[in-house]
Amino acid sequence: MIIANKKEFFGGGALLVLFFAVLIVMFMPIFKGLNAMEYLDDLYNSISKGSAYYIPEIQAVASSLEGRAVDVALTMDDPQQAAMTAALLAGSGAAVETAGAQLRVRGDLGGILQQCVRDTDDMYYNRGALLTKRYGGDARQSLYHWWIACRKLDNALKSQKLFKEATIVALVVQKGVETAYNYYTIKPQKISDRLSVVIFSLLFYVVYTLWYGFSIMFLFEGWGMKLEH
């Protein structure tokens, strides 16, 4: 093999070796038992969760429905789902009649939604043990059944032309229940608390990408291969 420029060729080779040496280190569990990718994944998930806290907003809109009585029929997928959903709704103070997979729910819509928001807030802050104490079973399953209940309730309210109320139920689901369910067990953090780490990781990503690119370029140019216009 003929090398046109040994200094450039071996310089590129050295940069490439160092690139892979750093890559190997990044895959080692040296960040609190995690490798670099796992650590950064946890960090950005945590920051993402910290910026998705809408509980005060949905608590306010749920409270606006206090005293709004509803009487709806909900058709669940099966009797077991109906029983678990009935327990949640009864815990909010609503009167619930169960017949197989059918539920008839009568009560204060604001009270139902506020109980849902309280459970959602506990799950957001990873206090799942509180839901287990209230309803028994797995906390995440309880929140999942709140999601089902609210979706069924949303449809039932629309069928009664209660569109304003249905919109608020949908808001509680989207900004509360779904967020808490998806981020459960992740510790929320503000980006301002980890700003230095975030900036370093972004800068490192740019530098590390350029590092690889220049290593390859120096290798091929040192070998005698050049791009021509």
Q: Where are the domains of the chain?
A: 6-49+190-223, 55-182
The pLDDT assigned to 229 comes to 47
The pLDDT assigned to 1 comes to 57
The residues with which 69 forms a beta bridge, in sequence order, are 108
Residue partners of 191: CB distance under 8 A and separation at least 6:
47, 50, 51, 198
Is residue 61 within 8 A of residue 168, CB to CB? The reply is yes
Q: What share of the chain is helix, strand, coil (3-state, %, to 5)?
A: 70, 10, 25
The pLDDT assigned to 130 comes to 97
Q: Which long-range contacts (CB under 8 A, 24 or more apart) does 22-28 make?
A: 22/208
CA distance 154 to 70: 12
Global confidence as pTM = 0.81
Q: How many helices (H) and strands (E) does the chain have?
A: 10, 3
Q: What is the DSSP string of 176-199?
A: IIHHHHHTTTPPP--GGGGHHHHH
Q: Which tens digits make up the pLDDT trace of 207-227? A: 999 999 999 999 888 887 765
3-state class (DSSP) for residue 103:
strand
Residues of the chain short of pLDDT 50, as ranges, are: 229
The pLDDT assigned to 8 comes to 87
Angle at Cα 137 formed by Cα 111 and Cα 169, nearest 5°? 30
